[in-house]
Amino acid sequence: MKKTAFFAIAVLSAFSAFADNFSTGFTPAGNVSSYTKTNYSVTSKFGEYFRSVSEKEIHKFSKGLETEFSLLNAKDELITKTTYVYDAKKLEGFTYSDIASSAELKTEYEYGVDSKIKSYTVTESDSGNLSSKTIYKYEGKKVTQSNYDKDGKLYMRIIQTLDDDGIPVQETEYNGDGTFSLSRSYSFTESKKISAIETFDEEGNCTNKVAFRYDANDFLTEIQVYENGKIKERRIYKNDALGNPVRISYYDVAEKFGTTVNELSRIEDFSYTY
Protein backbone atom coordinates (compact mmCIF):
# COMPACT_ATOMS: atom_id res chain seq x y z
CA MET A 1 0.00 0.00 0.00
CA LYS A 2 1.36 3.36 -0.96
CA LYS A 3 2.52 5.34 2.07
CA THR A 4 2.34 9.09 2.31
CA ALA A 5 5.56 10.82 1.28
CA PHE A 6 5.94 14.26 2.70
CA PHE A 7 8.10 15.26 -0.26
CA ALA A 8 5.10 14.94 -2.56
CA ILE A 9 2.96 17.88 -3.46
CA ALA A 10 0.43 16.57 -0.97
CA VAL A 11 2.60 18.10 1.67
CA LEU A 12 0.82 21.33 0.82
CA SER A 13 -1.91 19.96 3.00
CA ALA A 14 0.84 19.38 5.58
CA PHE A 15 0.63 16.61 8.20
CA SER A 16 -0.69 13.91 5.97
CA ALA A 17 1.33 11.28 7.78
CA PHE A 18 -2.13 10.09 8.77
CA ALA A 19 -3.46 10.25 5.23
CA ASP A 20 -3.16 7.37 2.80
CA ASN A 21 -5.27 8.16 -0.22
CA PHE A 22 -3.15 6.84 -3.11
CA SER A 23 -3.19 10.34 -4.59
CA THR A 24 -0.32 12.76 -5.06
CA GLY A 25 -2.76 15.56 -5.69
CA PHE A 26 -4.25 18.51 -3.86
CA THR A 27 -7.54 20.41 -3.81
CA PRO A 28 -7.24 23.43 -6.10
CA ALA A 29 -8.66 26.85 -5.32
CA GLY A 30 -11.78 27.83 -7.23
CA ASN A 31 -14.64 25.77 -8.59
CA VAL A 32 -12.48 23.18 -10.34
CA SER A 33 -14.15 20.07 -11.74
CA SER A 34 -10.88 18.40 -12.71
CA TYR A 35 -7.23 18.98 -13.36
CA THR A 36 -4.56 17.12 -15.27
CA LYS A 37 -0.94 16.99 -14.19
CA THR A 38 1.55 15.96 -16.85
CA ASN A 39 4.90 14.74 -15.57
CA TYR A 40 7.94 15.20 -17.81
CA SER A 41 11.37 13.67 -17.49
CA VAL A 42 14.22 15.92 -18.60
CA THR A 43 17.45 14.98 -20.34
CA SER A 44 20.40 17.14 -21.32
CA LYS A 45 22.20 16.90 -24.65
CA PHE A 46 24.99 19.22 -25.78
CA GLY A 47 24.08 21.69 -23.06
CA GLU A 48 20.39 21.85 -23.99
CA TYR A 49 17.39 20.40 -22.13
CA PHE A 50 14.82 18.10 -23.71
CA ARG A 51 11.65 16.86 -22.06
CA SER A 52 9.41 13.85 -22.64
CA VAL A 53 6.16 12.76 -20.99
CA SER A 54 6.65 10.11 -18.31
CA GLU A 55 3.22 9.96 -16.62
CA LYS A 56 -0.07 11.79 -16.49
CA GLU A 57 -2.45 12.25 -13.57
CA ILE A 58 -6.15 13.14 -13.87
CA HIS A 59 -7.93 14.32 -10.72
CA LYS A 60 -11.72 14.79 -10.72
CA PHE A 61 -13.74 16.75 -8.15
CA SER A 62 -17.33 17.29 -7.08
CA LYS A 63 -18.33 20.02 -4.64
CA GLY A 64 -14.70 20.54 -3.68
CA LEU A 65 -14.00 16.85 -2.95
CA GLU A 66 -11.80 14.57 -5.02
CA THR A 67 -13.89 11.75 -6.48
CA GLU A 68 -11.45 10.04 -8.81
CA PHE A 69 -7.72 9.85 -9.45
CA SER A 70 -6.32 8.16 -12.56
CA LEU A 71 -2.67 7.53 -13.35
CA LEU A 72 -1.72 7.07 -17.02
CA ASN A 73 1.53 6.23 -18.75
CA ALA A 74 3.20 8.21 -21.51
CA LYS A 75 0.89 6.56 -24.07
CA ASP A 76 -2.22 7.66 -22.14
CA GLU A 77 -2.87 4.06 -21.08
CA LEU A 78 -4.49 3.69 -17.67
CA ILE A 79 -2.17 2.33 -14.95
CA THR A 80 -4.20 2.77 -11.77
CA LYS A 81 -7.51 4.29 -10.75
CA THR A 82 -8.75 5.37 -7.33
CA THR A 83 -12.37 6.27 -6.62
CA TYR A 84 -13.51 8.00 -3.42
CA VAL A 85 -16.82 7.77 -1.52
CA TYR A 86 -18.03 10.38 0.98
CA ASP A 87 -20.72 10.78 3.61
CA ALA A 88 -21.38 14.51 3.42
CA LYS A 89 -17.83 15.89 3.70
CA LYS A 90 -16.31 12.88 5.43
CA LEU A 91 -14.34 10.33 3.46
CA GLU A 92 -16.02 6.94 3.89
CA GLY A 93 -13.50 5.03 1.84
CA PHE A 94 -11.88 4.55 -1.52
CA THR A 95 -11.10 1.77 -3.96
CA TYR A 96 -7.69 1.46 -5.62
CA SER A 97 -7.42 -0.58 -8.82
CA ASP A 98 -4.22 -1.71 -10.54
CA ILE A 99 -5.12 -2.23 -14.18
CA ALA A 100 -2.26 -4.53 -15.23
CA SER A 101 -2.69 -7.02 -12.39
CA SER A 102 -6.45 -6.52 -11.92
CA ALA A 103 -5.70 -6.23 -8.20
CA GLU A 104 -8.07 -4.08 -6.19
CA LEU A 105 -7.79 -2.74 -2.66
CA LYS A 106 -10.65 -1.23 -0.70
CA THR A 107 -10.10 1.16 2.21
CA GLU A 108 -12.88 1.92 4.70
CA TYR A 109 -12.82 4.58 7.42
CA GLU A 110 -14.46 4.46 10.84
CA TYR A 111 -15.18 7.66 12.77
CA GLY A 112 -15.95 8.35 16.41
CA VAL A 113 -18.82 10.45 17.73
CA ASP A 114 -16.44 13.44 17.66
CA SER A 115 -15.98 12.90 13.88
CA LYS A 116 -12.33 12.00 14.37
CA ILE A 117 -10.97 8.99 12.53
CA LYS A 118 -10.95 5.91 14.79
CA SER A 119 -9.45 3.54 12.25
CA TYR A 120 -9.27 2.49 8.66
CA THR A 121 -8.93 -0.97 7.16
CA VAL A 122 -7.57 -2.08 3.81
CA THR A 123 -8.93 -5.26 2.26
CA GLU A 124 -8.46 -7.12 -1.01
CA SER A 125 -11.68 -6.64 -2.94
CA ASP A 126 -11.75 -10.04 -4.64
CA SER A 127 -11.07 -12.16 -1.55
CA GLY A 128 -12.11 -9.83 1.25
CA ASN A 129 -8.84 -10.66 3.03
CA LEU A 130 -7.45 -8.03 5.35
CA SER A 131 -4.37 -6.27 4.02
CA SER A 132 -3.71 -3.80 6.85
CA LYS A 133 -5.40 -1.82 9.60
CA THR A 134 -4.57 1.53 11.18
CA ILE A 135 -5.95 2.60 14.57
CA TYR A 136 -5.89 6.09 16.11
CA LYS A 137 -5.90 7.07 19.77
CA TYR A 138 -6.49 10.65 20.96
CA GLU A 139 -5.27 11.94 24.32
CA GLY A 140 -5.55 15.71 24.57
CA LYS A 141 -2.87 17.15 22.29
CA LYS A 142 -1.37 13.71 21.65
CA VAL A 143 -2.41 11.49 18.74
CA THR A 144 -1.12 7.95 18.31
CA GLN A 145 -1.36 6.16 14.98
CA SER A 146 -0.70 2.40 15.08
CA ASN A 147 -0.23 0.51 11.82
CA TYR A 148 -0.85 -3.25 11.72
CA ASP A 149 -0.28 -5.78 8.95
CA LYS A 150 -2.75 -8.42 7.77
CA ASP A 151 -1.85 -10.70 10.68
CA GLY A 152 -2.45 -7.98 13.27
CA LYS A 153 1.25 -7.40 13.91
CA LEU A 154 2.30 -3.83 14.67
CA TYR A 155 4.83 -2.63 12.09
CA MET A 156 4.88 1.14 12.73
CA ARG A 157 3.64 3.65 15.29
CA ILE A 158 3.57 7.43 14.90
CA ILE A 159 3.00 9.72 17.88
CA GLN A 160 2.07 13.32 17.13
CA THR A 161 1.94 16.40 19.34
CA LEU A 162 -0.65 19.02 18.36
CA ASP A 163 -0.73 22.75 19.00
CA ASP A 164 -3.72 24.67 20.40
CA ASP A 165 -5.32 24.69 16.94
CA GLY A 166 -5.05 20.92 16.61
CA ILE A 167 -2.25 21.13 14.06
CA PRO A 168 0.66 18.66 14.38
CA VAL A 169 3.93 20.36 15.31
CA GLN A 170 5.99 17.32 16.28
CA GLU A 171 5.87 13.63 15.46
CA THR A 172 8.00 10.61 16.28
CA GLU A 173 7.96 7.43 14.24
CA TYR A 174 8.76 4.06 15.81
CA ASN A 175 9.33 0.64 14.32
CA GLY A 176 7.03 -2.22 15.23
CA ASP A 177 9.43 -3.46 17.90
CA GLY A 178 9.31 -0.08 19.65
CA THR A 179 12.70 1.17 18.49
CA PHE A 180 13.11 4.74 17.30
CA SER A 181 12.92 5.35 13.56
CA LEU A 182 12.87 9.13 13.13
CA SER A 183 11.21 12.32 14.32
CA ARG A 184 9.86 15.35 12.50
CA SER A 185 9.06 18.90 13.50
CA TYR A 186 6.73 21.26 11.64
CA SER A 187 7.05 25.05 11.53
CA PHE A 188 4.51 27.56 10.25
CA THR A 189 4.19 31.12 9.04
CA GLU A 190 2.04 33.69 10.85
CA SER A 191 -0.77 32.87 8.42
CA LYS A 192 -0.54 29.16 9.37
CA LYS A 193 1.15 28.09 6.15
CA ILE A 194 3.69 25.31 6.51
CA SER A 195 7.18 26.86 6.44
CA ALA A 196 9.49 23.94 7.23
CA ILE A 197 9.54 20.22 7.93
CA GLU A 198 12.68 18.92 9.62
CA THR A 199 13.59 15.26 10.10
CA PHE A 200 15.90 14.13 12.91
CA ASP A 201 17.74 10.94 13.75
CA GLU A 202 18.01 9.31 17.17
CA GLU A 203 20.90 11.60 18.17
CA GLY A 204 18.87 14.69 17.34
CA ASN A 205 20.78 15.48 14.16
CA CYS A 206 18.75 17.09 11.38
CA THR A 207 19.11 14.72 8.43
CA ASN A 208 16.55 16.30 6.15
CA LYS A 209 14.74 19.61 5.83
CA VAL A 210 12.04 20.84 3.49
CA ALA A 211 11.60 24.63 3.41
CA PHE A 212 8.63 26.43 1.85
CA ARG A 213 8.65 29.94 0.37
CA TYR A 214 5.60 32.13 -0.35
CA ASP A 215 4.90 35.40 -2.13
CA ALA A 216 2.95 38.41 -0.83
CA ASN A 217 -0.32 36.63 -1.68
CA ASP A 218 0.69 33.59 0.38
CA PHE A 219 1.02 31.52 -2.79
CA LEU A 220 3.70 28.84 -2.68
CA THR A 221 6.61 29.84 -4.91
CA GLU A 222 9.43 27.47 -3.99
CA ILE A 223 10.24 24.31 -2.05
CA GLN A 224 13.84 23.64 -1.04
CA VAL A 225 15.02 20.18 0.01
CA TYR A 226 18.10 19.81 2.20
CA GLU A 227 20.06 16.72 3.22
CA ASN A 228 22.51 16.96 6.12
CA GLY A 229 22.48 20.74 5.89
CA LYS A 230 23.13 20.98 2.15
CA ILE A 231 20.51 21.97 -0.38
CA LYS A 232 19.87 19.15 -2.84
CA GLU A 233 16.76 20.17 -4.72
CA ARG A 234 14.72 23.26 -5.60
CA ARG A 235 11.13 23.20 -6.82
CA ILE A 236 10.04 26.43 -8.48
CA TYR A 237 6.31 27.13 -8.75
CA LYS A 238 4.54 29.16 -11.40
CA ASN A 239 0.95 29.84 -10.29
CA ASP A 240 -2.28 31.15 -11.76
CA ALA A 241 -4.31 34.05 -10.34
CA LEU A 242 -5.91 31.73 -7.75
CA GLY A 243 -2.59 30.37 -6.54
CA ASN A 244 -2.95 27.00 -8.24
CA PRO A 245 0.30 25.76 -9.79
CA VAL A 246 0.48 25.71 -13.57
CA ARG A 247 4.07 24.48 -13.64
CA ILE A 248 6.53 23.06 -11.12
CA SER A 249 10.17 22.87 -12.25
CA TYR A 250 12.51 20.57 -10.32
CA TYR A 251 16.20 21.38 -10.11
CA ASP A 252 18.99 19.25 -8.71
CA VAL A 253 21.52 21.40 -6.85
CA ALA A 254 25.16 20.33 -6.91
CA GLU A 255 28.71 21.64 -6.75
CA LYS A 256 30.22 21.34 -10.22
CA PHE A 257 33.03 23.05 -12.11
CA GLY A 258 33.92 25.14 -9.09
CA THR A 259 30.45 26.57 -8.57
CA THR A 260 26.90 25.72 -7.52
CA VAL A 261 24.68 24.64 -10.40
CA ASN A 262 20.93 24.11 -10.68
CA GLU A 263 20.18 21.37 -13.21
CA LEU A 264 16.62 20.90 -14.45
CA SER A 265 15.59 17.31 -13.68
CA ARG A 266 11.83 17.16 -14.30
CA ILE A 267 8.75 19.29 -14.93
CA GLU A 268 5.11 19.05 -13.90
CA ASP A 269 2.50 20.96 -15.92
CA PHE A 270 -1.07 21.51 -14.69
CA SER A 271 -4.26 22.27 -16.63
CA TYR A 272 -7.62 22.95 -14.96
CA THR A 273 -11.25 22.53 -15.98
CA TYR A 274 -13.78 24.79 -14.26
Q: What is the pLDDT of residues 33-67, one digit of tens each?
A: 999 999 999 998 888 889 999 999 999 999 999 99
Mean pLDDT of 159-175: 96
**In order of start, what are the domains of the chain with their CATH numbers?**
9-273 (2.40.160)
Q: How far is CA 220 from CA 25, 127, 166, 257, in A?
A: 15, 44, 23, 31
Amino acid identity of residue 9, one-letter, is: I
Exposure pattern of 45-79 as b/e (b: 16+ CB <10 Å)? eeeeeeeebeebbbbbbeeeebbbbbbbeeeeeee
Mean pLDDT of 15-38: 71
Q: How far is CA 25 from CA 8, 235, 254, in A?
A: 8, 16, 28
Q: How far apart are CA 29 and CA 93, in angstroms?
A: 23
Upper half-sphere CA count for residue 9 (Cβ side, 13 Å): 25
Q: Which of 24-33, 97-106, 173-182 has the lowest mean pLDDT?
A: 24-33
Mean pLDDT of 88-113: 95
Q: How far apart are CA 203 and CA 197, in angstroms?
A: 18
Say if residue 178's pLDDT is above 80: yes
pLDDT value of position 57: 97
Q: How far apart are CA 121 and CA 112, in angstroms?
A: 15
Exposure pattern of 1-10 as b/e (b: 16+ CB <10 Å)? eeebebeebb
Q: How far apart are CA 88 and CA 94, in angstroms?
A: 15
> Which of 268, 273, 210 has its CA nearest to residue 239?
268
pLDDT value of position 88: 87
